[in-house]
């Protein structure tokens, strides 16, 4: 029963191969996107830290995204 399911009338190699290629491609794109996001978060945090303290407070108060990025950035350090 299981062997018949896996072989899929001799098309199993193509079906399971397609699933494997799709999974690998999606995993690669996820990893690449995550890596790029972390890179931009580090650059953003570095730019915010270079601002004066008064300007930094204004940016953080006016932007929810800035406070979220800085809080997640501080957790990863």
**pLDDT at residue 61, as a whole number:** 81
Burial label for 77, CB within 10 Å (0-12, 13-18, 19+), is exposed
Q: For residues 64 and 28, which has the higher predicted lDDT (pLDDT)?
A: 28
pLDDT score of 26: 98
Token digits of residue 68: 């979220």
For 13, half-sphere exposure in the C-beta direction (CA atoms, 13 angstrom radius) is 1
Per-residue pLDDT of 41-73, as tens digits, reads: 889 888 888 888 888 888 878 887 777 777 776
pTM: 0.67
Residue ranges per structural domain of the chain: 2-76
């Amino acid at each position: 029963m299981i062997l018949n399911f896996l072989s899929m009338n001799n098309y199993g190699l193509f079906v399971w191969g397609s699933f494997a290629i799709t999974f690998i491609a999606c995993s690669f794109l996820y990893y690449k996107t995550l890596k790029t996001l972390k890179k931009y978060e580090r650059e953003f945090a570095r730019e915010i830290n270079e601002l004066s303290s008064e300007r930094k407070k204004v940016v953080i108060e006016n932007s929810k995204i800035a406070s979220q990025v800085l809080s997640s950035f501080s957790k990863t350090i």
